[in-house]
């Protein structure tokens, strides 16, 4: 393929979309903390649903998920079930109650419900979770810029980080919200157009979900020829088998319901009812991509294997291989026939990173240059939208929950708070760049680690804080620290971090699934410690009661109870 048209269309769509994002951020720039953190609680329900979808459908969903499905097969459904199922929990169990509480951040809710000490613990957890998550976005942005703009990998990550930082700092939550509506529009168009085009090309029918069902037998046979398990075979894609599939699904599900940058979205709606319906609108917008992702993974894997089938060395490979090989995401380890393909480096004749399969799908499918350029813009929209929300959580946790509440003792001006928040963003971006240059896993897996940390820290204390009046500060602090230390320690133990070698998984449990066990420990420790120590004050218990049963106070005031 002629590279020049592809680069032209990539520049065209990236500059066009970046121009739109920055214009929206500039028009929405803010000077007050309420606008900066919760957009003055005036975001319409449908717009907030689209923003939530963009905020949550990160580079992991757009870039990484279909790629992992392509290699994991049916076990890749853990990402689909876990991430979408979590929104049902969020809509039913958390969003309306947290919106009624009416604070800026999750740590602020935790501080009011438990104590200022627990607020600090929660703020630290929010920063750790958001930082882990943002590393995946930096990595995803780097993949896009490295391939489509021809930048070296380290400069690609830096450029992505600068763009993210610029409009996150400029607009705050208000600018980010309306920018994310635009980004959702870009990413869903960029995802669906190639999927429809490849569906028509492969099966002669432009509905990916229908064509997907017709190619599975052919894909299974082809995967077997290349030494891979069948796409449709259950529990074959994960070393831990059925247990690990369950644990990862549950971790992603309750992690979704505990993510600070998603929960904060529901503080921006006009009403409590709007918070609940925002979650359902978000599910609708998310489903447009998630119901298409398995088809994209299957189509791309089929085209990839057919393209390299019978190839005898690098000179006989499809044209898309060489430019991706220059980025380091594809490696050919054989001068002879390509008889095996793997997502593990050095394990087969050809290594292909799952992180490139969606971005490369138009090239692999032989689609024209404008669609390739549009795909690049969609990938950046996904990375930018989520990273901006994550940086805002880091900013609010550092400036509002730690500096304003604990260090300045609520004496700092709004100008000083916003300065501290923006400096926190700078620090987060710099550290994330360093981690993004050498990520511990593929994009979707890195993001799954963040969900595991959210599951083991925030979800239990939020649920108990709303539905169990007996939960107290000592129990919540002990539970959160137990969940965080346990899950983070296991991740460090099983991942190649800090220059250490990765260790084997215990009982086949992957680091993506350890959050489920961490959450169970959090629940147990919080309940036990709370029962062994003094209960919360009557004032706090009445406050919890008013959140869950708002009608009760109204009836009492009217003399009907």
DSSP one-letter code for 74 = G
In a domain, 561, yes or no: no
Residue 179 in any domain: the answer is: yes
CATH code at position 509: 1.20.1730.10
Q: Which pLDDT band holds residue 299 (cuts at 50, 70, 90)?
A: very high
What's the pLDDT at 40?
A: 45
Residues 204-225, mean pLDDT to the nearest whole number: 91
Is 233's pLDDT higher than 80?
Answer: yes
Which region among 125-134, 429-438, 474-483 has the lowest average model confidence (pLDDT)?
429-438
280 or 559, which is more confident = 280
Question: CA 504 from chain center: how many Å?
Answer: 26
Q: Determine the Cα–Cα distance for residues 168 and 350; give it in Å rounded to an integer.
A: 39
Question: Lowest mean pLDDT: which of 28-32, 509-513, 545-549?
Answer: 28-32
- Residue 300 phi, psi dihedral angles, 5° rounding: -65, -40
Q: Is residue 560 part of a domain?
A: no
Token pair, residue 339, equals 């008889």
| Residue scoring higher pLDDT (137 or 556) | 137
Q: 331 versus 137: which is more confidently predicted?
A: 331
Reading phi first (left if > 0) and then psi (alpha if -120 to 50, else beta), residue 235 is in left
Percent of the chain at pLDDT exceeding 70: 87
Question: Three-class SS of residue 233?
Answer: coil
Indicate if the pLDDT at residue 171 is higher than 60. no
The predicted model gives 495-524 an average pLDDT of 87
557 inside domain: no
Give yes or no for a contact between 133 and 447, defined as CB atoms under 8 angstroms apart: yes
Give me the half-sphere count of Cα atoms (radius 13 Å) on the Cβ side of residue 409. 0
The answer on pLDDT for 335 being more than 80 is no
Give the model's confidence band at 39: pLDDT under 50 very low, under 70 low, under 90 confident, else very high. Answer: very low
Tell me how far apart the 2 most distant CA atoms of the chain are, in Å. Answer: 86
Residue 552 has pLDDT above 60, yes or no: no
Q: What is the mean pLDDT of residues 241-256?
A: 91
397-408: pLDDT as tens digits: 777 778 777 787
H-type helices in 260-368, by residue range? 260-263, 272-290, 293-308, 321-326, 357-364
pLDDT band with cut points at 50, 70 and 90 for residue 561 = very low
Q: Is residue 558 part of a domain?
A: no
Give the pLDDT band of residue 524 (cuts 50, 70, 90).
very high
| Whether pLDDT at 260 is above 90 | no
Q: Average pLDDT for residues 343-357, to the nearest whole number?
A: 85
Whether residue 34 has pLDDT greater than 50: no
Tokens of 113: 């419900």
Higher pLDDT, 527 or 230: 527
Sorted by sequence, the CB contacts under 8 Å of residue 361 that are 6+ apart come out as 194, 198, 296, 299, 300, 303, 375
Q: In this structure, are residues 470 and 536 in contact, taking their beta carbons and an 8 Å threshold?
A: yes
Which is more confidently placed, 278 or 28?
278
First CA to last CA across the chain, in angstroms? Answer: 76
Residue 207 exposed, middle or buried by CB count within 10 Å (0-12, 13-18, 19+): middle
The full length of the chain comes to 561
Q: In the predicted model, what is the mean pLDDT of residues 358-386?
A: 85
Kindly tell me the burial class for residue 554, based on how many C-beta atoms sit within 10 Å of its own C-beta (0-12, 13-18, 19 or more): exposed
The total domain count for the chain is 1
- Higher per-residue pLDDT: 232 or 169: 232
219 vs 408, which has greater pLDDT? 219
**Range of 331's domain?**
3-550
In a domain, 429, yes or no: yes
Mean pLDDT of the chain: 81
Q: Is the pLDDT of residue 3 over 60?
A: no
Asked if residue 467 is part of any domain, the answer here is yes
Q: What's the rounded mean pLDDT across residues 21-34?
A: 64
Residue 1's pLDDT band, with cuts at 50, 70 and 90, is very low
In which band, very low, low, confident or very high, does the pLDDT at 556 lie, cut at 50, 70 and 90?
Answer: low
pLDDT band at 267 (very low <50, low <70, confident <90, very high): low
- Residue 559 maps to a domain: no
Q: Quick one: pLDDT band at residue 292, thresholds 50, 70, 90?
A: very high
Give the pLDDT confidence score for residue 270 in this predicted structure. 64
């Amino acid at each position: 393929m002629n590279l020049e048209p592809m680069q032209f269309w990539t520049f065209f769509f990236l500059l066009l979309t970046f121009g739109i994002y920055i214009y929206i951020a500039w028009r929405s720039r803010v000077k007050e903390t309420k606008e900066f953190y919760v957009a003055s609680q005036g975001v319409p329900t449908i717009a907030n649903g689209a923003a939530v979808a963009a905020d949550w459908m990160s580079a992991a969903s757009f870039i990484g998920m279909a790629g992992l499905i392509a290699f994991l097969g049916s076990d890749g459904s853990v990402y689909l079930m876990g991430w979408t199922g979590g929104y049902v929990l969020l809509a039913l169990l958390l969003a309306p109650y947290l919106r009624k509480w009416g604070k800026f951040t999750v740590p602020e809710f935790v501080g009011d419900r438990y104590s200022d000490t627990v607020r600090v613990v929660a703020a630290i957890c929010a920063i750790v979770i958001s930082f882990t998550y943002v590393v995946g976005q930096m990595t995803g942005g780097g993949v896009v810029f490295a391939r489509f703009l021809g930048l070296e990998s380290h400069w690609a990550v830096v450029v992505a980080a600068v763009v993210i930082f610029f409009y996150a700092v400029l607009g705050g939550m208000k600018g980010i919200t309306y920018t994310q509506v635009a980004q959702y529009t870009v990413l869903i168009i960029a995802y669906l157009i190639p999927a429809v085009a490849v569906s028509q090309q492969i099966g002669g029918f432009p509905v990916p979900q229908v064509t997907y069902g017709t190619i599975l037998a052919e894909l299974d046979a082809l995967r077997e020829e290349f030494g891979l398990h069948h796409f449709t075979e259950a529990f074959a894609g994960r070393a831990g088998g059925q247990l690990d599939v369950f644990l990862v699904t549950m971790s992603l599900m309750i992690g979704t319901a505990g993510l600070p940058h998603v929960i904060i979205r529901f503080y921006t709606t006009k009403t409590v009812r709007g918070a609940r319906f925002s979650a359902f609108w978000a599910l609708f917008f998310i489903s447009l991509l998630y119901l298409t992702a398995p088809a994209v993974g299957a189509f791309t894997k089929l085209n990839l294997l057919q393209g390299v089938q019978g190839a005898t060395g690098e000179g006989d490979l499809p044209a898309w291989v060489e430019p991706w090989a220059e980025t380091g995401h594809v490696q050919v380890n054989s001068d002879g026939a390509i008889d095996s393909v793997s997502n593990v480096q050095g394990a087969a004749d050809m290594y292909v990173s799952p992180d490139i399969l969606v971005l490369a799908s138009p090239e692999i499918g032989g689609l024209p240059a404008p669609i390739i350029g549009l795909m690049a813009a969609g990938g950046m929209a996904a990375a930018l939208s989520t990273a901006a929300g994550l940086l805002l959580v880091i900013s609010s946790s550092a400036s509002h929950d730690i500096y304003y509440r604990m260090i300045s003792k609520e004496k700092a001006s709004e100008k000083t708070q916003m300065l501290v928040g923006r400096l926190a963003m700078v620090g987060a971006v710099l550290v994330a760049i360093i981690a993004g240059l050498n990520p511990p896993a593929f994009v979707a897996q890195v993001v799954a680690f963040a969900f595991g940390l959210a599951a083991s820290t925030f979800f239990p204390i939020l649920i108990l804080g709303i539905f169990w009046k007996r939960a107290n500060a000592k129990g919540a602090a002990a539970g959160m620290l137990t969940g965080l230390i346990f899950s983070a320690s296991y991740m460090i133990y099983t991942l190649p971090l800090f220059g250490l070698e990765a260790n084997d998984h215990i009982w086949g449990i992957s680091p993506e699934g350890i959050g489920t066990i961490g959450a169970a420990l959090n629940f147990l420790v919080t309940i036990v410690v709370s029962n062994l120590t003094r209960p919360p004050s009557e004032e706090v218990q009445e406050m919890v009661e008013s959140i869950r049963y708002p009608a009760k106070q109204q009836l009492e005031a009217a003399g009907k109870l």
